[in-house]
């Protein structure tokens, strides 16, 4: 029986990095969670315990913090590209690097009607995300960037239906033409190249997601996700793929009739689990190479 080592990677996960910019009296803040993952020929580390080709995960952590100072003045995508290129170009055993970044946004505190110069309140719960993969070196080097957002909590009180669905002997759900629809959306979009206005595209995509969710009359959450992806891709030729994952945050009409109270679609029980989980990918017909298979886990960009 032959046994061999399959795909493997290693890195430093969830480095919490806060960068304060003090160049002027009006300070700026960037609050990140950064994870690194390196790939290369690390076979001997697994089979023989030989660590000679292994850059310690602690070194990766130190690099993340050092680059926050030396390469942290731009967007999270630019910062991720710089980190990934460093690991691939400057660490000999590494042929692929992936950097995943969450950005935790802050709003300036308002004092006496004006923005404070060095105090903030945490925004959220939605989080901007980026994942950068760099593969190879020299002229053959390839870079893939995936932007995204997670924990984007959305709810609308009408304009959503669910009816005419398949039934079997276990179906008890009643159809509805007017329901509360709510979700905590995860969305990711893959860029065609790296010559982009990252901030402008993020703001535009987030705005399109919210506007589509609010205004689209939904016959199903699946239809809403497809329409969101379609609208985003139509608005941005820079993007070639959008992947969406949406838990259906169920709101059940609460029974008030037993108390002699009429409930005209007004009082609900918000049930957190179990929940429907709807996922969809929307692609351009001319979508570019999606990158190495390891960019995808269970078929979803992460």
Confidence of residue 51 (pLDDT cuts 50, 70, 90): very high
Could you give the CA distance from residue 101 to residue 57 in angstroms, rounded to a whole number? 17
B/e letters for 258-274, b = 16+ CB within 10 Å, e = fewer, are eeeeeeeeeebeeeeee
85 annotated ligand binder = no
Average pLDDT over residues 214-239: 96
3-state secondary structure of 217: coil
Amino acid 73: pLDDT: 87
Q: What is the mean pLDDT of residues 40-52?
A: 96
Measure the CA–CA gap between 160 and 155, rounded to whole angstroms: 10
Q: Is the model more confident about 72 or about 159? A: 159
Residues 241, 139, 65, 297, Cα dihedral to 10°? 40
Phi, psi of 138 (to 5 degrees): 65, -145
- For range 242-247, the mean pLDDT: 96
Confidence class for position 272, pLDDT limits 50, 70, 90 = confident
Contacts of 70 (CB under 8 A, 6+ apart): none
* Predicted local confidence at residue 286, as pLDDT: 74
Segment 94-153, tens digit of pLDDT: 999 999 999 999 999 999 999 999 999 999 899 999 999 999 989 999 999 999 999 999
- Which pair of tokens denotes residue 258? 């037993």
The rounded percent of the chain whose pLDDT value lies above 90 is 90
3-class DSSP state for residue 221? helix
Among 70, 134, 127, which residue's Cα sits nearest to residue 99? 134
pLDDT at 296: 52
60 is in an annotated binding site: no
Both tokens assigned to 42: 């690390």
Residue 293, pLDDT above cutoff 80: no
Rounded-to-integer distance, Cα 148 and Cα 188, Å: 4
Confidence (pLDDT) at 297: 44
- Per-residue pLDDT of 170-209, as tens digits, reads 999 899 999 999 999 999 999 998 999 999 999 999 999 9
Sheet-wide strand order for 142-156: 15-21, 28-40, 94-103, 127-135, 142-156, 181-191, 239-248, 276-283
What whole-number distance in Å separates Cα of residue 202 and Cα of residue 256? 43
Cβ proximity of 278 and 225 under 8 Å: yes
Residues 6+ apart with CB under 8 A from 122: 104, 105, 106, 107
Active site residues: 12, 57, 250
Report residue 291's pLDDT band, with 50, 70 and 90 as the boundaries. low
Burial class from Cβ neighbours inside 10 Å (0-12, 13-18, 19+) for residue 155 reads middle
Q: Is 50 exceeded by the pLDDT of residue 302? A: no
What is the pTM (predicted TM-score) of this model?
0.91
Residue-level pLDDT at 288 = 58
158 labeled part of a ligand binding site: no
* Residue-level pLDDT at 187: 98
The predicted pLDDT at position 301 comes to: 47
pLDDT of 292 > 70? The answer is: no
Instruction: Catalogue all structural domains in the chain, each as residue range(s) with its CATH number.
Output: 8-140 (3.10.270.10), 150-302 (3.10.270.10)
- Going by pLDDT thresholds of 50, 70 and 90, the confidence category of residue 242 is very high
Q: What does the pLDDT average to over 286-300? A: 54
289 marked among binding-site residues: no
Give the ranges where the chain is alpha helix by DSSP (H): 43-47, 57-70, 76-90, 198-215, 221-235
Question: Percent of the chain scored above 70 by pLDDT?
Answer: 95
What is the dihedral angle through the alpha carbons of 294, 289, 208, 279, rounded to the nearest 10 degrees?
-50
- Please tell me the distance from the alpha carbon of residue 147 to that of residue 131, in angstroms, as a whole number: 7
pLDDT tens digits, one per residue of 227-240: 999 999 999 999 99
Q: Is residue 51 part of an annotated ligand binding site?
A: no
Give the Cα separation of 40 and 292 in Å (integer). 13
Task: List C-alpha distances in Å: 166 to 170, 173, 221.
Answer: 11, 11, 16
Looking at the chain, how many residues does it have? 302
Instruction: Check whether 222 is labelled as a binding-site residue.
Output: yes
């Amino acid at each position: 029986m032959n046994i061999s080592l399959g795909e493997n990677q290693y890195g430093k996960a969830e480095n919490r990095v806060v960068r304060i910019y003090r160049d002027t009296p009006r300070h700026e803040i960037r609050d990140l969670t950064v994870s690194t993952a390196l790939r290369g020929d690390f076979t001997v580390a697994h089979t023989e315990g030989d660590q000679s080709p292994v850059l310690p995960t602690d070194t990766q952590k130190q690099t993340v913090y050092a680059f926050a100072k030396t390469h942290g003045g731009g967007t999270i995508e630019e910062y991720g590209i710089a980190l990934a290129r460093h690991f691939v170009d400057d660490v000999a055993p590494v042929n692929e690097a992936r950097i995943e970044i969450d950005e935790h946004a802050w709003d300036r505190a308002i004092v006496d009607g004006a923005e404070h110069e060095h105090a903030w309140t945490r925004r959220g719960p939605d989080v901007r995300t980026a994942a950068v993969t760099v593969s190879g070196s020299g002229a053959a080097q390839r870079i893939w960037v995936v932007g995204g957002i997670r924990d984007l909590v959305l709810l609308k009180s009408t304009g959503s239906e669910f009816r005419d669905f398949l039934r079997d002997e276990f179906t008890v759900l009643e159809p509805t033409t007017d329901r509360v629809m709510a979700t905590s959306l995860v969305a990711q979009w893959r860029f065609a190249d790296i010559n982009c206005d990252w901030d402008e595209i993020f703001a535009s995509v987030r705005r399109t997601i919210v506007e589509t969710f609010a205004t689209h009359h939904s016959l199903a959450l699946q239809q809403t996700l497809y329409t969101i992806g379609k609208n985003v891709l139509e608005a941005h030729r820079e993007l070639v793929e959008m992947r969406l994952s949406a838990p259906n945050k169920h709101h059940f009409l609460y029974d008030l009739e037993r108390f002699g109270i009429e409930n005209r679609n007004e009082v609900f029980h918000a049930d957190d689990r179990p929940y429907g989980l709807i996922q969809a990918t929307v692609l351009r017909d001319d979508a570019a190479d999606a990158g190495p298979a390891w960019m995808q886990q269970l078929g979803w960009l992460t």
